[in-house]
Structure 1
Amino acid sequence: MEFTDHPTGKRLAALSLAALGVVFGDIGTSPLYALRECFHGEYGIAVTPENVLGVLSLIFWSLMLIVSFKYLTMVLRADHDGEGGVLALTTLVKPRKENMTRGAWFLVILGLFAACLLYGDGMITPAISVLSAVEGLGHITPLFKPYILHITLAILISLFLLQRHGTAKVGTLFGPVILIWMASLALIGLHQVVRTPSVLAAVLPWHGLHFLIANKLHGFVVLGAVFLVATGAEAIYADLGHFGRRPIRLTWFLVALPALLLNYFGQGAHLLSTPQDAFHPFYAIVPRWAIIPMVILATMATIVASQAVITGAFSLTSQAVQLGYLPRLRVTHTSASHKGQIYVAPVNWLLMVCTVGLVLGFRTSSRLAAAYGVAVTASMLVTATLFYIVMRKRWEWKLPVAAGLTALFFTVDFSFFAANMTKITHGAWFPLVIALLVLVVMLTWERGGEILAERARGLTKPLDEFLKGIADDPPKRVPGQAVFLTRSHNTVPVAMIQNLRHNKVLHSEVYFLNIRTEQIPRVPNFEKIELERFGSGIHRIIAHFGYMEEPTVALIFTLCRDKGVNVDMNTASFFLGREKLTIGTPPAMARWRSSLYLFLSRNGMDPAAFFDIPSEQVIEVGARLQI
């Protein structure tokens, strides 16, 4: 991992500033709309002193229990070789394939579904964040109101169009922008708190309990709006591998948490004296002279938050491809110095179309807020479930401790999930449907790959049998190096069988190359290559890569030189299998899933491009397989 040590001094400061921009951009823009939705949203409650203190109390304890305790203190400890996120957590609890049980498969599917929810989040977050910031123009003059939607769409479309150019240059501004944003949140909030210090009583938990008891069902439903303050908590865990625990924790407790609390309490203090401003309490506490600069700063902050979520979707896609849950897609590195800055075109355009559609469909951030929260709370429930397995199986914690912590997490998370379920008919179904569709694609691609591997084994033979046949009846040898990519390390690739059958010759040097993705983020270079010599110029190379890495044949053969094997990338011939797929009778999967697999297969990258093999040196050998 890049940040496994304990940074100090200037390096710690630099990492903390970068983490502020990337990790806390999403949760840091919630003050734009979270408190407003409690009092002016779809299920807004009356603006009374008791309700204001009750809502602020719920906000305070939500940030303390969900973000500070659950994620920053506990879940952040469950790293997978330094990497975080629900996909890394899933690989922690996933046993080897031969040990897979129904219960384990259920946990894996749960984890995949939670990861898929990121795509829905990646569509809603840019829409609601940018729209809520631009709506501040309406506070400058009503003349801007007819153009709010147009300006929002222009910003969002520009953001997605710029993705392919990368964010290496503007990325250095992310941290400073969010730092200025957080400082502004704290200052305008502090001004109101000083004027009405009685609002600080909201830190006492019984104000929140009294709010829920007094308002009954209505108060419970308002929890769906309260939860908006914690959206972005999953991103904190997902970005663990980029920055490490110490910078993330330091940034949260010293900068983000105080700034957010001061702003929420400042908005609440203003509502105690001016309840009629509930339609937008954030801009109501901004001094009149600072409205225009604050709208500009808010827009910049929401762009940073959106960028972080979009990049997260790209990273998730890259990991899913390496783990075999998605077809090969072109992943473009947009920065030579930052590994995490990548671009995946199909994902970018899908996010753009859906984000623009959400803005056009909902038209206001308040309506979008009604669709926001279900996906995030569902993901948090899955995280709590998987974290329990880690505590019991990996860390071997005693049952009372693990069960007690999980019960606390479930009580909080499920309360918010149930409250957000009331939003289903108001658009919250959208991110769930997106996640389900992506999950179906992932499971179909994985299952289809397993079926094809079984079919291919019927066309080939075990490696031991092949070597014995070569020794008993040597074919004609021709000078040169031939590399055969193979799905399995112990079987001969179909391309080799077909080549021998039709050309009846064998190169003087033959390399069977099996590239594996391991269930860990990264494999050290000295452990990447397994090399075995069988004699007669025949070799087997097994290359191990982590799911956060991108395998290339150039790197593989560079590492092979240290083991005494020199494959000339300029002259070697690469033999790849090209399967012609048809739907079997009956199909191995449901016909619609087989058709989906065929569609995905036709639109995925071919192995030569994916593994960066020179196209002029590729020889494709076809085989017909049924799916």
Structure 2
Amino acid sequence: MQNVHSGSVNSQLIHKHSLSALTIGAIGVVFGDIGTSPLYAFREALHHSAPMGGIEEAAIFGVLSLALWSLILVVTVKYVIFLMRADNDGEGGVLALLALAGRGTGGRTGVVLALGAVGASLFYGDAIITPALSVLSAVEGTKTIPGIGSGISQQTIVSITIVILVLLFAIQYRGTALVSKLFGPICVIWFLAIGGLGVMHISDYPGIIAALSPHHAVSFLASNGMIGLIVLGSVFLTVTGAEALTADMGHFGRFPIRLSWFLLVFPALSLNYFGQGAFAMAALERARLAGVPLETQDWFFLMCPESFRLPMIILAGLATIIASQAVITGAYSLTQQAIQLGLLPRMKIVQTSPGSAGQIYIPAINWLLLLGVWLLVVQFGNSSAMASAYGIAVTGTMVVTTCLAFVVVHKLWNWSLPKSMLVMLPFLVIDLIFFGANILRVVDGGWVPLAVGSLICLVIWIWVRGKRLIDIKENESVITLAELSKSLTNSEVARVEGMAVYLTANPDGVPSTILHNLKHNKVLHERNVVLNVKTAGVPHVPEEERAKYEKVDANFARVTLRYGFMDAPDVPQALARAIPKSDAPLNEMKTSYFVGRSVLSASKDEGLPFWQDIILIFLQRNAYNPAEFFHIPSNRIVALGGQVIV
């Protein structure tokens, strides 16, 4: 059922836009990250294969075989063939899987919610490492330029990298609608170029094709013990960015992404790695003749002929900027989903394109990412040191993705437990092996994504627990609308002209804002609407299914608005459509919106631990104004609330 529906979504996408345009767009946005891996992945893996001496033939073949089979098993089989089937109405990504898993279990259970929170948290670690590592790797290519490379210091490279990254983050508020049209063509050129480089050098050592046999990978791991695991952690750099295949399904559709992978991206990556392997083998033979050990080199840029090296460095710089842009916009989208799902407090979200709801900019996330990226570049200073920090975030996210996918296939797709385990367990074993290999590098820099992920996870945990506690306390003595209407029959409450809209998280009871209004102002509007805004477990809710209107009595009406976790709520617009024609239409100038604004008070004796109280209070005080988040005119909103001890 799931697959049939998502297939229709993809068909509609392909029908709406030409297949070629979607395919080229996917090459630019989806594969930007994984496409820049050849800059550093093979180099780092070979470097760790020879900690005490020169690089050997077995290491070159072993590393290349591991890289190729990682691309085959992790990217092709797991993501392209299988996980892209697990979409939520055409949308993918870890939070889309969280919503699907919640649907399958009848609600977000503690384990499912924890997995989603961990996956989302680790993504932010990835989002600060990808721009830092990829751009720094491209700029380091200037060291290979004949004549001037030797005169470029590492500090100069770091400074150039920081300038590029600051400019990249500084222009985010303008949106990427215009420049994103160039992403696809540039990345097509990039993949053709790196594939061509590989073809040029396979002839250096034609026997390198034998690395396609998996026995080289198995033999290397079996004979190298701990060093083999450390190398495996570096080899994983070849598949970083694979999670973007599912995360960007909603923008391009499943078929164009698969087409891009099989027709261009996978062949280009494979050819380039073969070329680097052959180039390294030729260098090994020369080193043996000279009687010296083979040291680590910048294989990617050295493969390029000297006359084309500068253009290739520029092209690599553009490709890494595109890869960085993709992960930055991914962080925006993930944050929007997390806010809608109630995992994070509201933040300011700016639409940067009137024609595309997916083009957004979140200032708070933008500047926090830039701070993290800047700290990484300054702290590590070179791409080799930073590479140690990369794998843990991505492998952790992949482990979470596999676990959530298991819940989806077993609970939502109703696969039997043996069948679910038979399909998903091999993927989980591969992910755990890679995760274990990367955990070995915690001291060398792997602590960075773990620290970032832990911090974000802590914020999510405190926010979710705190909001639940607030809801419980605010609804301790809730009465129904019918009971309130009955009590108003003989009261002398003054009635004022216009409509009052009371936003509430509990549509069944009387919002505390009504009670505060009656208690302090002793008035009730002529028309009163209790409004509940819900986030559905789907990316988008169609306009015709958005609102549910219910007339309670002469005093009150109840409206429920449903938004997908990727929709931007516009309450006044949706409310105007929800009110039936039999009622008087919504008059914006005579409508007041009442929102609850509880004043939180920390307590050492009840509720959350005191230190968590402090964080929760800080988060709520700095949460974005609900009026602007829901697109309610600021001059029409009234905030009422009492004190809540947390």
Asked if TM exceeds 0.5, the reply is: yes
Q: Which amino acid aligns with 1:405?
A: V
Q: 1:57 aligns to what?
A: 65
Instruction: Work out the CA distance in 2 between the residues paired with 1:10 and 1:107.
Output: 36
Q: Which amino acid aligns with 1:66?
A: V
Residue 8 of structure 1 and its aligned partner are, at CA, apart by 6.0
Q: 1:139 aligns to what?
A: 144
SS in 1 for 2:348: coil
**Aligned mate of 2:119, from 103, 111, 114:** 114
Residue 396 of structure 1 and its aligned partner are, at CA, apart by 2.3
Residue 446 of structure 1 and its aligned partner are, at CA, apart by 1.2
Q: Which moved more, 1:389-398 or 1:558-567?
A: 558-567
Residue 562 of structure 1 and its aligned partner are, at CA, apart by 5.5
**Aligned mate of 1:551, from 546, 566, 569:** 569
Conserved in 2, the CA contact under 8 Å of 1:326 and 1:441? Answer: yes
Q: 1:523 aligns to what?
A: 541
Q: 1:12 aligns to what?
A: 19
Instruction: Work out the CA distance in 2 between the residues paired with 1:269 and 1:12.
Output: 36
Q: Which amino acid aligns with 2:527?
A: E
Q: 1:215 aligns to what?
A: 224
SS in 2 for 1:487: coil
Q: 1:24 aligns to what?
A: 31
Instruction: Work out the CA distance in 2 between the residues paired with 1:618 and 1:179.
Output: 50
Q: 1:71 aligns to what?
A: 79
Q: Which amino acid aligns with 1:470?
A: L
Q: Which amino acid aligns with 2:30?
A: V
Conserved in 2, the CA contact under 8 Å of 1:460 and 1:497? Answer: no
Q: 1:478 aligns to what?
A: 496
Q: 1:172 aligns to what?
A: 181
Residue 9 of structure 1 and its aligned partner are, at CA, apart by 10
Instruction: Work out the CA distance in 1 between the residues paired with 2:233 and 2:185.
Output: 31
Residue 588 of structure 1 and its aligned partner are, at CA, apart by 0.4
Q: Which amino acid aligns with 2:544?
A: F
Q: Which moved more, 1:342-351 or 1:536-545?
A: 536-545
Instruction: Work out the CA distance in 2 between the residues paired with 1:352 and 1:590.
Output: 32
Residue 609 of structure 1 and its aligned partner are, at CA, apart by 1.8
Conserved in 1, the CA contact under 8 Å of 2:357 and 2:568? Answer: no
SS in 2 for 1:5: helix
1:555-581 per-residue CA deviation (whole Å, 9 max, x = no partner) reads: 212322566452112321222222222
Q: 2:212 aligns to what?
A: 203
Q: Does 2:233 correspond to 1:227?
A: no
Instruction: Work out the CA distance in 1 between the residues paired with 2:50 and 2:179.
Output: 39
Conserved in 2, the CA contact under 8 Å of 1:39 and 1:278? Answer: yes
SS in 2 for 1:535: coil
Q: Which moved more, 1:113-122 or 1:380-389?
A: 380-389
Q: Which moved more, 1:134-143 or 1:268-277?
A: 268-277
* Count of residues paired in the alignment: 624
Structure 1 residues 474 and 487: alpha-carbon distance in aligned structure 2, compared to 1, 3 A threshold: farther
Q: 1:88 aligns to what?
A: 96
Q: Which moved more, 1:514-523 or 1:453-462?
A: 453-462
**Aligned mate of 1:600, from 611, 619, 626:** 619
Q: 2:630 aligns to what?
A: 611
Q: 1:162 aligns to what?
A: 171
**Aligned mate of 1:510, from 528, 536, 544:** 528
Residue 98 of structure 1 and its aligned partner are, at CA, apart by 8.0
Residue 278 of structure 1 and its aligned partner are, at CA, apart by 3.3
Conserved in 1, the CA contact under 8 Å of 2:104 and 2:411? Answer: no
Q: Which moved more, 1:317-326 or 1:392-401?
A: 392-401
Residue 430 of structure 1 and its aligned partner are, at CA, apart by 0.9
SS in 2 for 1:94: helix
Instruction: Work out the CA distance in 2 between the residues paired with 1:10 and 1:589.
Output: 51
Instruction: Work out the CA distance in 2 between the residues paired with 1:364 and 1:99.
Output: 45
Q: Map 1:368-447 onto structure 2 (within 5 A).
A: 368-447=386-465
Conserved in 2, the CA contact under 8 Å of 1:574 and 1:618? Answer: yes
Instruction: Work out the CA distance in 2 between the residues paired with 1:309 and 1:37.
Output: 22
Q: Which amino acid aligns with 2:429?
A: T
Residue 144 of structure 1 and its aligned partner are, at CA, apart by 2.2
Q: 2:290 aligns to what?
A: none
SS in 2 for 1:427: helix
Structure 1 residues 616 and 463: alpha-carbon distance in aligned structure 2, compared to 1, 3 A threshold: same
Q: 1:623 aligns to what?
A: 642
Q: Does 2:305 correspond to 1:287?
A: yes
Conserved in 1, the CA contact under 8 Å of 2:496 and 2:523? Answer: yes
Q: 1:357 aligns to what?
A: 375
Q: Does 2:113 correspond to 1:125?
A: no
SS in 1 for 2:203: helix
Instruction: Work out the CA distance in 2 between the residues paired with 1:61 and 1:605.
Output: 46
Instruction: Work out the CA distance in 1 between the residues paired with 2:597 and 2:420.
Output: 50
Conserved in 1, the CA contact under 8 Å of 2:104 and 2:408? Answer: no
Q: Which amino acid aligns with 1:449?
A: K
Instruction: Work out the CA distance in 2 between the residues paired with 1:43 and 1:594.
Output: 50
Please provide the CA RMSD for this pair: 2.0
Q: 2:196 aligns to what?
A: 187
Instruction: Work out the CA distance in 1 between the residues paired with 2:273 and 2:581.
Output: 61
Taking structure 1 as the reference length, the TM-score comes to 0.96
Instruction: Work out the CA distance in 1 between the residues paired with 2:184 and 2:54.
Output: 37
Q: Map 1:440-459 onto structure 2 (within 5 A).
A: 440-458=458-476
Conserved in 2, the CA contact under 8 Å of 1:42 and 1:367? Answer: no
Residue 303 of structure 1 and its aligned partner are, at CA, apart by 0.3
Q: Which amino acid aligns with 2:558?
A: R
Structure 1 residues 408 and 521: alpha-carbon distance in aligned structure 2, compared to 1, 3 A threshold: same
Instruction: Work out the CA distance in 2 between the residues paired with 1:350 and 1:465.
Output: 48
Instruction: Work out the CA distance in 1 between the residues paired with 2:16 and 2:544.
Output: 31
Residue 472 of structure 1 and its aligned partner are, at CA, apart by 4.6
Residue 42 of structure 1 and its aligned partner are, at CA, apart by 8.5
Structure 1 residues 391 and 577: alpha-carbon distance in aligned structure 2, compared to 1, 3 A threshold: closer
Q: Does 2:261 correspond to 1:243?
A: no
Residue 490 of structure 1 and its aligned partner are, at CA, apart by 1.0
Q: Map 1:311-390 onto structure 2 (within 5 A).
A: 311-390=329-408
Conserved in 2, the CA contact under 8 Å of 1:271 and 1:278? Answer: no
Identity of aligned residues (%): 42
Residue 400 of structure 1 and its aligned partner are, at CA, apart by 3.6
Structure 1 residues 481 and 61: alpha-carbon distance in aligned structure 2, compared to 1, 3 A threshold: same
Structure 1 residues 568 and 42: alpha-carbon distance in aligned structure 2, compared to 1, 3 A threshold: farther
Residue 99 of structure 1 and its aligned partner are, at CA, apart by 6.2
Structure 1 residues 585 and 127: alpha-carbon distance in aligned structure 2, compared to 1, 3 A threshold: closer
Q: Which amino acid aligns with 1:73?
A: I
Q: Does 2:43 correspond to 1:36?
A: yes
Gapped regions of structure 2 (runs ≥ 5): 1-5, 285-293
1:307-364 per-residue CA deviation (whole Å, 9 max, x = no partner) reads: 1011111111111111111111010111122222211111111111111110011000
Instruction: Work out the CA distance in 2 between the residues paired with 1:215 and 1:485.
Output: 62
Q: Map 1:563-578 onto structure 2 (within 5 A).
A: 564-565=582-583, 566-578=585-597
**Aligned mate of 1:497, from 492, 498, 515:** 515
Residue 475 of structure 1 and its aligned partner are, at CA, apart by 3.1
Q: Which moved more, 1:188-197 or 1:259-268?
A: 188-197
Conserved in 1, the CA contact under 8 Å of 2:141 and 2:313? Answer: yes
Q: Which amino acid aligns with 2:423?
A: L
